[in-house]
């Protein structure tokens, strides 16, 4: 596949900024009736495939902390905040509310999930867990992937980019039921990310060609 290049194990994964001083459980109640594209991005893998998943979200500013609390954390029953000193720098979310789970399932059944989210997590099935066999890393040659605009995801992307770029400079995703093939070049989410990321790395289980990771570098 001329649009992919096999690379060595990336160094950015060993440079994660994970130090903290305390973790506190908080209560937060709000209106969870509206599931925005940003919320869909974090809720879909939990609601559709992996209900026990713990979702970490960096909050490098008070603005992002408040936004993610109101728009994403409101959908979870268990909210932990990781603090550096007295500054919250990560939300740890688990135990998705039943009403939010049903909202996501309904959006999926009606084909109303945001296209970027749907292409990432809408192909129902078990998500890959960790490194299974021989793992290889493949870097996308972005010039071979035709970009696409999905305007209804732009606001969500701006929040993701600003938060993760200020944190470790990358985000690691686990797409559902992605297989390495030429058809992957047509994937809407890949085509959306290609013009917005510095680099895109696929983590591939070589014997099965299953994609067990999608790393976006800012």
For residue 148, count CB atoms less than 10 angstroms from its CB and return exposed for 0-12, middle for 13-18, buried for 19 or more.
middle
Quote the percentage of the chain above a pLDDT of 90.
80
* Stretch 147-175: mean pLDDT: 94
Helix/strand/coil for 175:
coil
Contacts of 110 (CB under 8 A, 6+ apart): none
* Stretch 46-73: mean pLDDT: 95
Which pLDDT score is estimated for 166? 85
* Stretch 21-45: mean pLDDT: 94
The mean of the pLDDT values for the chain is 92
Cross-sheet strand order for the sheet of 55-58: 22-26, 76-84, 87-96, 55-58
Supply the DSSP symbol for 56: E
Quote the percentage of the chain above a pLDDT of 70.
94
Q: How far apart are CA 59 and CA 90, in angstroms?
A: 5
Q: Which residue has the higher pLDDT, 129 or 139?
A: 139
Angle between helices 37-48 and 98-109 (to 10 degrees): 100
User: 31-40, pLDDT tens digit by residue?
Assistant: 888 999 999 9
Residue 17 in this model has a pLDDT that exceeds 70: no
Q: Which domain holds residue 102?
A: 4-217
**Residue of 121, 148, 145 whose CA lies nearest to 211:** 121
Which pLDDT score is estimated for 12? 79
The total number of structural domains that make up the chain: 1
Nearest 10 degrees: Cα torsion 141, 218, 132, 182: -30
- The tokens of 80 are what? 């932990």
User: 164-183, pLDDT tens digit by residue?
Assistant: 988 889 999 999 999 999 99
Which pLDDT score is estimated for 129? 55
Q: How far apart are CA 74 and CA 76, in angstroms?
A: 6
Q: What is the radius of gyration, based on Cα positions, of the chain?
A: 17
């Amino acid at each position: 596949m001329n649009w992919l290049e096999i690379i060595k194990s990336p160094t950015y994964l060993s440079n994660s900024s994970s130090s903290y001083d305390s973790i506190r459980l908080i209560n937060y109640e709000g209106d969870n009736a509206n599931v925005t594209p940003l919320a869909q991005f974090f809720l879909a893998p939990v609601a559709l495939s992996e209900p026990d998943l713990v979702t970490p979200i960096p909050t490098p500013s008070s603005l992002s902390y408040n936004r993610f609390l109101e728009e994403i954390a409101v959908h979870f029953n268990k909210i932990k905040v990781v603090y550096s000193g007295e500054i919250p720098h990560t939300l740890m979310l688990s135990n998705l509310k039943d009403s939010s789970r049903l909202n996501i399932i309904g959006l999926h059944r009606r084909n109303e999930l945001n296209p970027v989210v749907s292409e990432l997590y809408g192909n129902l099935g078990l998500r890959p867990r960790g490194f299974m066999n021989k793992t290889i890393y493949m870097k996308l040659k972005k010039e071979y992937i035709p970009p696409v605009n999905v305007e209804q995801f732009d606001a969500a992307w701006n929040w993701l980019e600003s938060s993760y770029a200020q944190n470790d400079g990358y985000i690691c995703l686990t797409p559902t039921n992605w297989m390495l093939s030429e058809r992957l070049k047509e994937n809407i989410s890949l085509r959306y990310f290609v013009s917005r990321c510095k680099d895109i790395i696929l983590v591939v289980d070589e014997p099965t060609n299953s994609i067990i990771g999608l790393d976006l570098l800012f």
